[in-house]
Amino acid sequence: MRRWFGQSGFYALVVIIILYSLFPFYWVFKSSMESSISLNQPTTGMLPVQWTLVHYQAIFAVENFLRPLLNSMFVAGVTTIISVILGSMAAYGLARMPIKGKAAILGFVLLVSFFPQIAMVGPLYLVFRHLQWLNTYQSLIIPYLILALPITTWILTAFFGQIPQDIEEAAMVDGATIRQTILKVFAPIALPGIFTAAILGFLLSWNDFLFALSFIQSPNMDTVPLALVNFRNAYYVHYGQIYAGVVVASLPIALIVLFLQQRIESGLTAGSVKG
Amino acid sequence: MAAKLATKSPDQLTQRRPGASYLARRRRVGYLLVMPAIIALALVAIYPLIYNLVLSSRFDVATEPGTQHFVGLQNYHSLMTDPAFWGDLLHTGIFVVISVTLEFVAGMILALVVNRKFRARGLVRASILIPWAIPTAVSALLWKMFFDIRSGFVDFALKSLHLPGAQAVWFNSPILAWVPIILSDMWKNTPFIALLLLAGLQTIPQEIYESAKIDGASAWQSFWSLTLPLLRPAILVALIFRTLSAMLVFDTIFVMTGGGPGRSTEVIAYYNWYKYMVSLNFGYGAAVAVVITILALLLAAIYVRILRQREGFVT
């Protein structure tokens, strides 16, 4: 009897957890299909009063939501590529090469990930204003390195450290140069770890709001979070468009998480880095 | 120099013994590999830090051009005597304590549940992670709308369940405005804590629970006297990272309340942003930034101590 209660109690808990995580997404989806008229009246039920796709049309036709999507993809993509290249190089040096001061270097990388983003805003703003870089992609890519580079370096160092060294040593014995060993022998084995670091670097850059808010002033350069928040700064709150925009922007992210959940988890716990 | 010679020496190529010059060459390549990342981080993180230190000793307000001058510690003095700053610090402290506590308890429940073996566990694990991947600003935007009487579900749910709070105008009350803020923060960040705790749980061997059971320990007892102590390192790491990001909360506040009503939900990061980007008072903003950086680095120091105790620092 007690066991049966424990079992069903456990499954009730599972249901509550799933509802807690996913019900908000259902509500976003439902509201994105609701007409503006019913969105402006008190909620009456769990389904849209009248199904409509008008908000989806509006975000692309009226708000040009494609632009922030492309902006975010470009900025997060370039940041990820730079972070993964620099991070892999550093991680290989840290995990494989007999360099001195490894602890100090790793400590420095970790320290940077503790630096408050907000404290960077003023100095970077002044520097970018001086260089006339406000409102440009580089005014986002450069500060996003603060977000992505420490985590990629940290994760990759942990991953590279787990790869057995014998294979590279064998290649070296066979006369391969350091460069050949890294590119032909090591890189293929390290690829899953690099992929994991890339996903996390991408998500962290994609999720930024503070830097975009501070360095971007024209709607043309908006990233996704900034564009969504700005939907309501017009004459009235465009609930429907915000909901539709969130659906469009979150679907790819949700799919990434669903399919790559194990990678993301292993990355986040690899060196207990921040998220 | 020795390293340069080594590349040309046929001896070195054929021997492949880790002789002194071979080691030196590998070491040199190692430094070259590490260098770009270190330089990039120094440029984007250390440079602004130093810039802040310099800027904080100056009077520098963009709306009064040509009046910049050295003022020593005056910005810090104004900051320390500004009741608004202390109020925001208090709000931040309360927010940290409440949100991190709630997220820790919820994260622990999530981790314990997902650690059990049951059907569709993988799917559940993936679905609890999805909110974590949503941008904080978007989570805040959503929860702000969820609490809206017209387009949200909170009032609808409260009314349907005949609970108090329906029709409450959440964002007009200095106290109630914190409820959506904390719920949004919880929804977004609990998965992260759950993840770190789950990783910790999975390192605990199942056998010790079985022997505890044989010794007659209840599930509750073995949680308190086995799970919690063994999970200590994971708990500390999760708490430190969450404390850090809760201390620096900005997006949620900016999007949901803008610090209002009045200043009742204003936090230190918002204070800093306002001084920088609205007042355009860069000297004063820099002083705030330095204080916030010091608070963050104190947490980092604690974290490093824990890592050292746990396993040594080098991975």
B37 interfacial to chain A (CB closer than 8 Å): yes
| Pick from A102, A147, A125: nearest CA to B40 | A147
Q: Which amino acid is at B238?
A: A
pLDDT of residue B179: 94
pLDDT of residue A235: 57
Task: Work out how many domains chain B is built from and give that number.
Answer: 1
Residue A135: exposure state from Cβ atoms within 10 A (0-12, 13-18, ≥19) = middle
**Domain extent for B216:** 74-311
**DSSP classification of residue B16:** -
Closest by Cβ to A27, choosing from B130, B146, B314: B146
Domain boundaries, chain A: 2-56, 61-270
pLDDT of residue A272: 54
B32 interfacial to chain A (CB closer than 8 Å): yes
Closest by Cβ to B269, choosing from A118, A229, A256: A118
Residues in chain B: 315
Q: What is the 3-state secondary structure (H, E, C) of B33-46?
A: HHHHHHHHHHHHHH
List of chain A residues whose C-beta atoms are within 8 Å of the C-beta of residue B296: 114-116, 119
Contact between B107 and B194 under an 8 Å Cβ cutoff? The reply is: yes
* CB contact residues (below 8 A), chain A span 23-82, against chain B: 24-25, 27-28, 31, 34, 39-44, 82
| Pick from B229, B234, B199: nearest CA to B311 | B234
Closest chain A C-alpha to B139 CA, distance in angstroms = 10
Question: Is B1 contained in some domain?
Answer: no
Phi, psi at residue A65, to the nearest 5°?
-70, -15
Mutate to test the interface with A, among B7, B118, B127 (most CBs of A within 10 A): B127
CA-based nearest residue in chain B for residue A15: B124
Question: Is B19 contained in some domain?
Answer: no
Rounded distance between C-alpha atoms, residue B142 and residue A24, angstroms: 8
Residue, of B169 and B132, whose pLDDT is higher: B132
Token duo for residue B73: 């510690």
- For the cut 70, the answer to whether the pLDDT of residue B193 exceeds it is yes
Return the CATH number at B202: 1.10.3720.10
pLDDT of residue B310: 62
- Strand-pair category, B58-59 with B69-70: antiparallel
Question: Is B65 contained in some domain?
Answer: no
B261 preceded by a cis bond (ω within 30 of 0): yes
User: From the CB of residue A259, how many other CB atoms can be counted at a distance below 10 Å?
Assistant: 11
Contact between A123 and B52 under an 8 Å Cβ cutoff? The reply is: yes
Rounded distance between C-alpha atoms, residue A211 and residue B11, angstroms: 54
- For the cut 50, the answer to whether the pLDDT of residue B20 exceeds it is yes
pLDDT of residue A185: 86
Q: Which amino acid is at A81?
A: I
Confidence of residue B7 (pLDDT cuts 50, 70, 90): very low
**Do residue A261 and residue B129 have CB atoms under 8 angstroms apart?**
yes
pLDDT of residue A162: 86
**Do residue B155 and residue A149 have CB atoms under 8 angstroms apart?**
no
* CB contact residues (below 8 A), chain B span 66-105, against chain A: none
A228 interfacial to chain B (CB closer than 8 Å): yes
Within a 13 Å sphere around the CA of A187, how many CA atoms are in the beta-carbon half?
A: 11
**Do residue A209 and residue B136 have CB atoms under 8 angstroms apart?**
yes
Rounded distance between C-alpha atoms, residue B33 and residue B26, angstroms: 10
CA-based nearest residue in chain A for residue B53: A123
Rounded distance between C-alpha atoms, residue A79 and residue B230, angstroms: 38
b/e code A72-89 from CB counts within 10 Å (16+ = b): beebbbbbbebbbebbbb
Helix, strand, coil distribution of chain A in percent, nearest 5:
80, 0, 20
Confidence of residue B5 (pLDDT cuts 50, 70, 90): very low
- For the cut 80, the answer to whether the pLDDT of residue B12 exceeds it is no
A209 interfacial to chain B (CB closer than 8 Å): yes
- CATH class of the domain defined by A61-270: mainly alpha
Contact between A97 and B33 under an 8 Å Cβ cutoff? The reply is: yes
pLDDT of residue A232: 65
A207 interfacial to chain B (CB closer than 8 Å): yes
Contact between B132 and B307 under an 8 Å Cβ cutoff? The reply is: no
pLDDT of residue B1: 35
Rounded distance between C-alpha atoms, residue B246 and residue A15, angstroms: 28
Closest chain A C-alpha to B73 CA, distance in angstroms = 18
Phi, psi at residue A156, to the nearest 5°?
-65, -35
B61 interfacial to chain A (CB closer than 8 Å): no
Residue B12: exposure state from Cβ atoms within 10 A (0-12, 13-18, ≥19) = middle
List of chain A residues whose C-beta atoms are within 8 Å of the C-beta of residue B38: 90, 105, 108
User: Is residue B70 within a helix (H) or strand (E), and if so which, with residue range?
Assistant: strand B69-70
Closest by Cβ to B150, choosing from A17, A42, A107: A42
pLDDT of residue B151: 77
Rounded distance between C-alpha atoms, residue B150 and residue B162, angstroms: 18
Phi, psi at residue A142, to the nearest 5°?
-65, -50
List of chain B residues whose C-beta atoms are within 8 Å of the C-beta of residue A211: none
pLDDT, one tens digit per residue, over B110-126 is: 999 988 888 888 888 88
Confidence of residue B15 (pLDDT cuts 50, 70, 90): very low
B294 interfacial to chain A (CB closer than 8 Å): no
Closest chain A C-alpha to B124 CA, distance in angstroms = 7
Walking along chain A (275 residues) 10 residues at a time, the average pLDDT comes out as 68 90 92 84 80 87 88 96 95 90 89 91 94 94 94 90 84 83 86 90 93 92 91 69 90 87 80 47
List of chain B residues whose C-beta atoms are within 8 Å of the C-beta of residue A249: 138
Q: How far is CA B252 from the centre of its chain?
A: 13
User: From the CB of residue B121, how many other CB atoms can be counted at a distance below 10 Å?
Assistant: 14
Residue, of B67 and B268, whose pLDDT is higher: B268
B187 interfacial to chain A (CB closer than 8 Å): yes
Q: Which of A88-92, B133-137, B217-221, B224-228 has the lowest mean pLDDT?
A: B217-221
**Do residue B124 and residue A17 have CB atoms under 8 angstroms apart?**
yes
Three-class SS state of B69: strand
Closest chain B C-alpha to A78 CA, distance in angstroms = 15
Contact between A274 and A203 under an 8 Å Cβ cutoff? The reply is: no
Please, what is the average pLDDT of chain B? 86
Q: What is the CA radius of gyration of chain B?
A: 26
Interface confidence, given as ipTM, is 0.89
pLDDT of residue A201: 92
pLDDT of residue A49: 82
Whole-number percent of chain B with pLDDT over 90: 47
Contact between B184 and B143 under an 8 Å Cβ cutoff? The reply is: yes
Within a 13 Å sphere around the CA of A226, how many CA atoms are in the beta-carbon half?
A: 25
Question: Is B5 contained in some domain?
Answer: no
b/e code B264-280 from CB counts within 10 Å (16+ = b): ebbbbbbbbbbbbbeee
- For the cut 80, the answer to whether the pLDDT of residue B245 exceeds it is yes
∠ CA A154-A156-A162, rounded to 5°: 110
Question: Is B50 contained in some domain?
Answer: no
Token duo for residue A178: 């350091």
